[in-house]
């Protein structure tokens, strides 16, 4: 069974909310050549869009699976009015394959004016989708809400699933090509964004789900150092066990066997996989790894891996993310982290399929802990968790709310709050914590899952409050417009000055160990201390982190 995040997908059709009308053209000069974008007008105002900009060389032929190479220059004026191809993928939302193209490394830039009075803050969106689906295209990530503010928005595609995350642990295919694509996009922005009116020294990276895990991986990767100045992680951090995989090489050889090449030689496997049609590398189904751990997160077959330190090529990450965070190896930049009130709906919606898995001893214990605990300690924790969430009762398919509560904390919220603690302990720049709670007609995913009976805001249901979704029929009312303005203002304030607080509203104080400030982002803003404190303290005891300090966790 695949445990799949649904953060961003390609969809057909359109609603009529703020569809942009294209008028005159705009030309800018980049390091690779001239680009001609389009001026778009809509109900929110006007902005200039530059789409389908190549930020790396097409990763085709012998470049398949390899780290991206710098883009090549072009002659004349390049048309930047259309998106580039999406990465080949399975669209879970519509249950269909989208062939796309391996030549998919393109980005999009949106600005109110390429020639502002002063350089504008830059916000780079990293799309989610479980590392296997999604793109930066405007049918789902429409820029209109951000274009009401003085910021530049950048979205982009990166390689997904096998194409982006195959790992053979070799010099040629060490893994994480998709994350290195993200780094290449950030480098391109750093080098070129001034031509669009952006400030290359005021860049905020942000994302949701797999995009948030990616964002926080950039916070701990030395490869990304200096390419951004702030970060926002929505519904995920690199501590979440679904944010990285431990079995990349095993998955690669499983894949070879599935496709007809049963070998233990990585070079032979690579030669074979480069001949395989792209369509055979999409929507892969592989058996569970026989690790004895039985983790739902292992359903993400191809994702970020820990690269072998001994390899001589440039590596994205060489240590287990929790180890790096605990030691304080993270960028000292302002950060926002947070979660929705019902993240676990993403898991509980599959309760009939996973009902046989949850009763297994240890199934409710996080993977990070199972890897280092003796069986008796594991069993003790398993018993405590089942008592806390299920009153020690057997888990049944009727326990949608209880499973939602468990998975909201276990798979999402606790490690997000935990990341805030370690950021505070090791860094001097602030970290802001939030919980997203509004429910209106724009909470599309929960309705799509038919989970309206369960309390809480579903995973990814914050996205329509940030982006103008035109590929789905999502209404826009006065009530939701108010929340949209509030959320986008918080985010753009943070991108501009490093503090999200809205002038004239309640102060959103940074998280500290003593105050544990958190902003409840609902129809109104409520900033208080110790939100979800009972659950937080429970998991701190489980993790053995009720008491941590800078001194105890400083890197030696």
3-state per-residue secondary structure call for 459-480: CCCCHHHCCECCCCCCCCCHHH
Question: If 0-12 CB within 10 Å is exposed, 13-18 middle and 19+ buried, where does residue 260 land?
Answer: exposed
Predicted confidence at residue 510, as pLDDT, reads 98
For residues 479-493, average pLDDT: 97
Query: In the prediction, which pLDDT does 521 show?
Result: 98
pLDDT band at 541, cuts 50/70/90?
Answer: very high
Structure tokens at 20: 């942009």
Encoded tokens for 490: 């918080």
Mean pLDDT, range 301-310, rounded to an integer: 97
DSSP secondary structure letters along 70-89: PPPP-SSEEE-SSPPPPPSE
3-state secondary structure 173-191: CCCCHHHHHHHHHHHHHHH
Q: Looking only at Cα atoms, what is the longest distance across the chain?
A: 69
Got the DSSP string for 375-391?
A: HHHHHHHHHHHHHHHHT
pTM higher than 0.85: yes
379/77 Cα distance (integer angstroms): 65
Residues in the chain: 556
* Catalytic-residue membership of 343: yes
Q: Fill in the DSSP letter of residue 398.
A: T
Per residue in 414-435, pLDDT (tens digit) is 999 999 999 999 999 999 999 9
Averaged over 530-540, what is the pLDDT? Answer: 97
Q: Is 459 a catalytic residue?
A: yes
Question: Strand pairing of 34-42 and 45-54?
Answer: antiparallel
Q: What is the mean pLDDT of residues 201-223?
A: 98
> How many whole angstroms separate alpha carbon 5 and alpha carbon 130?
5
**Tokens matching residue 143:** 């820029």
Can you give the pLDDT at residue 554?
41
pLDDT of 277 above 50: yes
Q: Among 317-321, 352-356, 498-502, 515-519, whose mean pLDDT is lowest?
A: 352-356
Residue 254 DSSP class = H
Instruction: Give the residue-averaged pLDDT of 478-493.
Output: 97
Segment 31-45, tens digit of pLDDT: 999 999 999 987 767
pLDDT digits (tens, 9 = 90+) for 256-270: 999 999 999 999 999
Is residue 348 annotated as a catalytic residue, yes or no?
A: no
pLDDT score at 553: 43
Annotated active-site residue in 83, 127, 218, 459: 459
Amino acid 432: pLDDT: 99
Whole-angstrom distance, CA of residue 348 vs CA of residue 48: 41
Q: Are 500 and 415 in contact (CB under 8 A)?
A: no
Q: Which residues pair with 35 in a beta bridge?
A: 28, 78
Q: Is the pLDDT higher at 95 or at 523?
A: 523
The active-site residue, picked from 209, 224, 283, 480, is 209
DSSP reduced 3-state for 520:
strand
Q: Which residues pair with 234 in a beta bridge?
A: 208, 338
In this prediction, residue 24 carries a pLDDT of 62
What is each CA distance from 130 to 134, 185, 209, in whole angstroms?
9, 19, 7
Closest CA to 123 of 218, 230, 221, 38: 230
Reduced to 3 states (helix: H, G, I; strand: E, B; else coil), residue 486 is helix
Instruction: Give every CB contact of residue 111 below 8 A, 6+ residues apart in sequence.
Output: 47, 48, 120, 147, 152, 153, 196, 197, 198
CB 417 within 8 A of CB 433: yes
Q: What is the pLDDT of residue 23?
A: 58
Q: In the prediction, which pLDDT does 13 show?
A: 37
* Mean pLDDT computed over 476-491: 96
Over residues 324-352, the mean pLDDT reads 97
Q: What per-residue confidence (pLDDT) applies to 94?
A: 66
Categorize the per-residue pLDDT at 299 as very low, low, confident or very high, splitting at 50, 70 and 90: confident
Q: What is the mean pLDDT of residues 355-368?
A: 90
**Residue 293 above 80 pLDDT?**
no
SS3 163: helix
Residue 105 binned pLDDT confidence (cut-offs 50, 70, 90): very high
pLDDT the model gives residue 550: 52
pLDDT, the chain, mean: 93
Model confidence at 20, pLDDT cuts 50, 70, 90, reads low
Closest by alpha carbon to 293, among 405, 394, 382?
382
CA–CA distance, 99 with 9 (Å, rounded to integer): 13
Model confidence at 288, in pLDDT bands (50, 70, 90)?
confident
Q: Which residues share a beta bridge with 55?
A: none
Scanning the structure block, which residue is given the tokens 């990530």? 141
Closest alpha carbon to 159 in 19, 81, 33, 57: 57
Can you tell me the distance from the alpha carbon of 373 to that of 18, in angstroms, rounded to the nearest whole number? 53
Strands, E, within 13-140: which ranges?
21-29, 34-42, 45-54, 77-79, 89-91, 96-98, 106-111, 120-126
Q: How many Å apart are CA 192 and CA 200, to the nearest integer?
A: 8
Chain segment 51-68, per-residue pLDDT in tens: 999 999 999 999 999 999
Identify which has the larger pLDDT, 10 or 93.
93
Q: Determine the average pLDDT of the residues in 93-120.
A: 92
> Which residue from 36, 34, 38 is spatially nearest to 76, judged by alpha carbons?
34
Judged against a pLDDT cut of 80, whether residue 180 lies above it is answered with yes
> Which carries the bigger pLDDT value, residue 376 or residue 6?
376
Mean pLDDT of 437-441: 97
The CA distance from 320 to 307, in Å, is 10
Which residue in 102, 307, 343, 368 is the catalytic one?
343
Cβ neighbourhood burial of 328 (10 Å; 0-12, 13-18, 19+): middle
Secondary structure (DSSP) of 319-377: S-HHHHHHHT-S--S-EEEEEETBTTHHHHTTHHHHTTTTTSTTTTS-HHHHTT--HHH
Question: Hey, is 406 helix, strand or coil?
Answer: helix
The whole-number pLDDT of residue 8 equals 34
Return the C-alpha torsion angle 442, 448, 454, 456, nearest 10.
Answer: -30
Mean pLDDT, residues 383-392 = 98
């Amino acid at each position: 069974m695949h445990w799949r995040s649904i953060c961003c997908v390609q969809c057909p059709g359109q609603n009529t909310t703020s569809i942009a009308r294209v008028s005159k053209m705009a030309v800018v000069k980049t390091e690779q050549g001239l680009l001609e974008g389009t001026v778009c007008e809509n109900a929110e105002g006007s902005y200039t869009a530059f789409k389908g900009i190549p930020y790396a060389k097409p990763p085709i032929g012998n470049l398949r699976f390899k780290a991206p190479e710098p883009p090549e220059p072009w002659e004349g004026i390049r048309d930047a009015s259309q998106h580039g191809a999406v990465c080949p993928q399975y669209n879970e939302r519509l249950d269909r394959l989208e062939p796309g193209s391996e030549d998919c490394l393109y980005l999009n830039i949106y600005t109110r004016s390429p020639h502002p009075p002063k350089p504008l803050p830059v916000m780079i969106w990293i799309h989610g989708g479980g590392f296997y689906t999604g793109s930066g295209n405007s049918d789902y990530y429409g820029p209109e809400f951000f274009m009401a503010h003085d910021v530049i928005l950048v979205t982009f595609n990166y390689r997904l699933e096998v194409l982006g995350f195959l790992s053979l642990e070799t010099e040629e295919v060490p893994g994480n090509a998709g994350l290195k694509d993200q780094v290449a996009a950030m480098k391109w922005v750093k080098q070129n964004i001034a031509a669009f009116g952006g400030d290359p020294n005021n860049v905020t990276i942000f994302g949701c789900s797999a995009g948030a895990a990616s964002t926080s991986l950039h916070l701990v990767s030395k490869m990304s150092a200096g390419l951004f100045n702030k970060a926002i992680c929505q519904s995920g951090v690199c501590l979440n066990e679904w944010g990285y995989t431990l079995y990349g090489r095993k998955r690669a050889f499983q894949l070879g066997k599935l496709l007809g090449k049963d070998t233990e030689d990585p070079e032979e496997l690579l030669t074979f996989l480069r001949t395989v049609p792209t369509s055979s590398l999409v929507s892969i189904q592989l058996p569970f790894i026989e690790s004895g751990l039985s983790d739902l997160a292992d359903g993400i077959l191809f994702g970020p891996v820990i690269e072998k330190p001994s390899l001589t090529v440039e590596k994205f990450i060489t240590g287990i993310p929790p180890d790096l965070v605990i030691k304080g190896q993270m960028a000292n930049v302002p950060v926002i982290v947070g979660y929705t009130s019902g993240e676990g709906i993403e898991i509980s919606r599959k309760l009939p399929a996973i009902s046989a898995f949850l009763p297994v001893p240890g199934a409710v214990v996080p993977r990070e802990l199972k890897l280092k605990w003796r069986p008796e300690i594991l069993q003790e924790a398993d018993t405590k968790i089942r008592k806390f969430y299920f009153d020690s009762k057997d888990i049944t398919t009727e326990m949608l709310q209880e499973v939602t509560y468990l998975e909201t904390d276990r798979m999402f919220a606790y490690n997000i709050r935990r990341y805030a603690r370690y950021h505070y302990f090791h860094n001097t720049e602030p970290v802001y914590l939030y919980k997203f709670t509004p429910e209106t007609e724009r909470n599309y995913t929960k309705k799509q899952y038919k989970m309206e009976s369960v309390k809480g805001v579903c995973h990814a249901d914050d996205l329509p409050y940030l982006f103008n979704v035109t590929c789905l029929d999502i209404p826009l009312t006065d009530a939701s417009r108010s929340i949209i303005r509030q959320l986008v203002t918080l985010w753009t304030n943070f991108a501009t000055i490093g503090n999200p607080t809205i002038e004239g509203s309640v102060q959103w104080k940074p998280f500290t160990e003593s105050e544990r400030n958190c902003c409840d982002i609902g129809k109104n803003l409520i900033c208080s201390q110790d939100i979800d404190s009972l659950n937080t303290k429970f998991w701190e005891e489980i993790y053995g982190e009720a008491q941590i300090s800078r001194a105890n966790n400083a890197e030696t």
